[in-house]
Amino acid sequence: MIKGIYHAARSLETQNKNLERIANNLANLNTIGYKREGMFVQILNQLGGPQIKSPVDLRQGEVFETKNPLDVAIIGVGLFVVKTEKGYEYIRNGNFQISQEGFLVDKEGRKVIGKNGEINLSEYQLDENNILSISRNGEIKVGENSVDNLLIAKVNEDNYEYRKEGLNFDSLSDIEEFADENEYQILQGYLEESNVNPIQEMENMIRVSKDYESSYKMVISLDESLQKSVDIGKI
């Protein structure tokens, strides 16, 4: 009976986390580049104990045109790379800008990384005569001058930390794998929408809420049965 209460309680914990993930997905419905968090599932770790895991849904989101030359969307595999105090972070949000120092940065001011390192545009005069262009393979040019290529990384989401702002993976040291150019296309003047389907999330919420209620009733029932057994033992 104790084991039954334990499993029912674990189920409650899992369903509660699922409800949190669904709520977070719905809250990020309009977040650029956001990738939905999947349902928590219980798996067995190498020691044979239960471990709760939540996958990230990496499916492509719809892209929309902004006409902003600093907005960039990835079609296919890969993520942009930005530099942080810890090392590098991989993101899908290509809403970039140019810092006061002339570096290409993301919306949080972190420097975007190219194949040659930090992308520095300070020596180029950006005006109607020197338009910044980004090709489908990620080459950045100002007029006829090639500046750098956007670095597109590949990740195994099992090895990185998921952040709620969108799809952000932390790597504390070096970039481990690069996407091949035939695996992606870069679209300048576009951004990628969240890949959250609100109808699917609402359906998931209804189902998980029912599962939570069933698990809760099971815990109460088993607890009452256990209490009766204890009372009988006192007679």
Q: Name which of 103, 33, 93, 95 is nearest 70 in CA terms.
A: 95
pLDDT at 86: 79
Residues 6 or more apart whose CB falls under 8 angstroms from that of 165 comprise 28, 31, 34
The encoded tokens of residue 97 equal: 């800008």
14 φψ region: left (φ > 0), alpha (ψ -120 to 50), beta (else): alpha
pLDDT at 103: 96
The encoded tokens of residue 56 equal: 């990230």
| 208: in domain | no
pLDDT at 169: 60
pLDDT at 17: 84
| 152: in domain | yes
pLDDT tens-digit profile of 158-168? 555 555 444 55
pLDDT tens-digit profile of 207-220? 988 877 777 676 67
| 207: in domain | no
Q: What span, in angstroms and rounded, lies between the C-alpha atoms of 63 and 89? A: 22
pLDDT at 23: 93
Measured N-to-C along each axis, helices 198-234 and 2-27 cross at an angle, to the nearest 10 degrees, of: 160
Range of the domain at 69: 61-192
| 7: in domain | no
CA dist 145 → 69, 72, 130, 132, 224 (Å): 16, 19, 9, 9, 76
| 227: in domain | no
Whose tokens are 């798996």? That residue is 43
- DSSP character at residue 64: E
pLDDT at 3: 61
| 185: in domain | yes
Q: What span, in angstroms and rounded, lies between the C-alpha atoms of 27 and 81? A: 25
Query: H or E stretch including 208?
Result: helix 198-234
pLDDT at 195: 94
pLDDT tens-digit profile of 128-161? 666 899 999 999 999 889 999 999 998 765 555 5
| 17: in domain | no
The two beta strands, 152-153 and 79-83, are: antiparallel
Q: Name which of 102, 78, 101, 99 is nearest 90 in CA terms.
A: 78
| 183: in domain | yes
Q: Name which of 181, 193, 195 is nearest 71 in CA terms.
A: 193
The ranges of the chain with pLDDT < 50 are 1, 43-49, 164-166, 172
Number of other CB atoms surrounding residue 33 within 10 Å: 24
Q: What span, in angstroms and rounded, lies between the C-alpha atoms of 218 and 215? A: 5
pLDDT at 43: 47
pLDDT at 148: 97
CB of 66 within 8 A of CB of 193? Answer: no
Q: pTM surpassing 0.85?
A: no
Q: How many domains does the chain have?
A: 1
CB of 15 within 8 A of CB of 174? Answer: no
